Amino acid sequence: MSESNLPVQAIRWLAAENFGPDGPVLRLLDQTRLPGETVYLDLVTVAEVWQAIKRLSVRGAPAIGIAAAYGVCLACRDTGKRSFSEVMENCRGAAEYLATSRPTAVNLFWALNRINATLDKLDSAWARVTDPDRDNPAGWVLKQLVQTAIAIHDEDRRMCHEIGRIGAELLRDGDNILTHCNTGGLATSEYGTALSVCFTAQDHGKQLHVYVDETRPLLQGARLTAWELMQRKIPCTLICDNMAAHVMATKDVDAVIVGADRIAANGDTANKIGTYNLAVLANFHRIPFYVAAPSSTFDLSIGSGDRIPIEERQSEEITEGFGRRTAPIGVNVYNPAFDVTPGNLIEGIITEKGLIRPVTRAEIERVLQVT
Active site residues: 261
Angle of the 84-98 helix axis to the 106-125 helix axis, nearest 10: 170
Torsion, CA 294, CA 336, CA 42, CA 82, rounded to 10: -80
* DSSP assigned state of 80: T
CA distance 219 to 215: 5
Return all residues near 110 (Cβ < 8 A) that are at least 6 apart.
65, 296
CA distance 264 to 269: 6
CB 160 within 8 A of CB 188: yes
CB 88 within 8 A of CB 129: no
CB 241 within 8 A of CB 275: no
∠ CA 291-57-320, rounded to 5°: 95
Angle of the 137-168 helix axis to the 106-125 helix axis, nearest 10: 140
CA distance 26 to 45: 9
Backbone angles phi, psi at 301, to 5 degrees: -80, -10
Q: Give me the DSSP letters along 227-268.
A: HHHHHTT--EEEE-GGGHHHHHHHS---EEEE--SEEETTS-
> For residue 190, which of 174, 209, 207, 203 has the smallest C-alpha distance?
203
CB 267 within 8 A of CB 357: no
CB 40 within 8 A of CB 85: no
